[in-house]
């Protein structure tokens, strides 16, 4: 299989977004790109519960400002479980470099979301990303969001 698809490291995603249209669009974009959405939730408590269930999750996409608290708490719970995090927000929090693999600024385009995930995936594989989309900052090259900054 010379030209087959490469095996992805990121397949199963948890989407944490309290704006219904943004959540719906993200689900649509990601499922069209052959990602599996484990769950889409709009509250910190629900996201932490999904993470605690022990279901396989490769990446958490989380907004910072949620109705019942901060996405930073979700990122902390994901990090404790060894799950990579990408903040998708209007303003990246100061803690992001310690908790997340990257941060994508809203609003973003479809290609930018997919490219940001691809950049995180490349970092997990120890490779430099092919390109960084506009509005995306890549922090870590490990799946744990350890804060190793890539130059």
> What is the residue range of 116's domain?
12-138
* Integer angstrom CA distances of residue 98 from 41, 89, 112, 125: 23, 16, 23, 19
Within a domain: 114? yes
Within a domain: 145? no
Within a domain: 5? no
Angle at 38 between CA 29 and CA 62, to 5 degrees: 65
How far is C-alpha 149 from the chain's CA centre?
A: 16
What pLDDT does residue 146 have? 41
Looking up residue 116, the CATH number of its domain turns out to be: 3.40.50.2300
CA distance 62 to 48: 11
Within a domain: 7? no
What pLDDT does residue 64 have? 95
Number of structural domains, the chain?
Answer: 1
Within a domain: 106? yes
What pLDDT does residue 6 have? 64
What pLDDT does residue 16 have? 98
Pick out the chain residues at pLDDT < 70.
1-6, 140-151
Within a domain: 111? yes
CA distance 146 to 75: 12
Within a domain: 20? yes
Within a domain: 121? yes
What pLDDT does residue 151 have? 31
What pLDDT does residue 143 have? 41
């Amino acid at each position: 299989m010379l030209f087959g698809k490469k095996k992805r490291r990121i397949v199963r995603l948890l989407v944490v977004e309290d704006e219904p249209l943004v959540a719906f669009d993200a689900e649509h974009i990601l499922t069209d790109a052959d990602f599996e959405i484990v769950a889409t939730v709009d509250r910190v408590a629900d996201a932490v519960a999904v993470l605690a269930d022990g279901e396989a999750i490769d990446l958490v996409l989380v907004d910072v400002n949620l109705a019942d608290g901060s996405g930073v708490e979700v990122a902390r719970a994901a990090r404790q479980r060894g799950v990579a995090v990408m903040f998708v927000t209007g303003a990246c929090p100061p803690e992001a470099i310690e908790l997340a693999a990257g941060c994508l600024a809203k609003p973003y385009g479809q290609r930018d979301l997919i490219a940001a995930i691809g950049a995180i995936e490349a970092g997990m594989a120890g490779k430099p990303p092919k390109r960084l989309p506009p509005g995306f900052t890549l922090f870590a090259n490990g799946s744990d969001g350890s804060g190793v900054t890539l130059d």
